[in-house]
């Protein structure tokens, strides 16, 4: 999984750089169009765009991770989703689904305090680590760390004989 994550990150990084270069040249050609285009309306949209554009690349990357974690957290609150959540979003070596929960359980938090603390810490160091690694490599590290920690949890549970489901990275 880790090799695939970093390989995909390298491809994503190349495509992102290629897209930025193409966008630069397209914007240089289309600069005159901005002067004749009508301005978009809507204060809320402008505020959201202003907020988004003021975020660092790391904060934008982590915003997606936080949104995924909040979405999964909300799914835990739906009674009809409990069986699916326990099957695919908890890490349990005795489960019939072994591989996908290793990744999906990293987005699971059952306690609001646990999720809020984890997301706050992730947000606090996101700018510096993404500026160091780039958002693509950061995502590869984040996802790989989640899968590796789930694997270590599997090994520890097998060694101790305690087959209880767990969640979180």
Beta strand extents in the chain (DSSP E only): none
CB-count burial class (<10 Å; 0-12, 13-18, 19+) for 136: buried
Question: Quick one: pLDDT at residue 70?
Answer: 94
Categorize the per-residue pLDDT at 71 as very low, low, confident or very high, splitting at 50, 70 and 90: very high
Among 81, 41, 65, 25, smallest CA distance to 146 is for: 65
Q: Mind listing the pLDDT tens digit for each residue in 33-67?
A: 555 565 566 677 778 888 888 888 888 889 999 99
Q: What is the pTM of this model?
A: 0.76
Q: Answer whether residue 32 shows pLDDT above 60.
A: no
Q: Which long-range contacts (CB under 8 A, 24 or more apart) does 114-117 make?
A: 114/168, 115/69, 115/70, 115/73
Question: Running DSSP on this structure, what letter comes out for residue 53?
Answer: H
* Average pLDDT for 94-104: 82
């Amino acid at each position: 999984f880790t090799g695939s994550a970093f390989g995909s990150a390298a491809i994503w990084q190349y495509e992102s750089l290629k897209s930025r270069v193409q966008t630069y040249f397209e914007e240089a050609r289309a600069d005159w169009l901005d002067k004749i285009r009508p301005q978009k309306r809507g204060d809320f949209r402008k505020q959201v765009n202003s907020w988004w554009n003021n975020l660092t690349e790391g904060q934008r990357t982590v915003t997606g991770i936080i949104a995924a974690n909040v979405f999964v957290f909300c799914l835990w609150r739906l009674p009809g989703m409990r069986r699916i959540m326990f099957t695919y979003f908890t890490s349990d070596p005795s489960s019939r689904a072994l591989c996908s929960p290793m990744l999906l359980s990293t987005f699971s938090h059952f306690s609001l305090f646990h999720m809020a603390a984890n997301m706050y810490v992730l947000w606090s160091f996101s700018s510096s680590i993404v500026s160091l690694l780039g958002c693509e490599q950061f995502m590869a590290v984040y996802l790989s760390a989640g899968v590796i920690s789930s694997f270590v949890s599997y090994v520890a549970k097998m060694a101790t004989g305690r087959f209880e489901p767990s969640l979180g990275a």
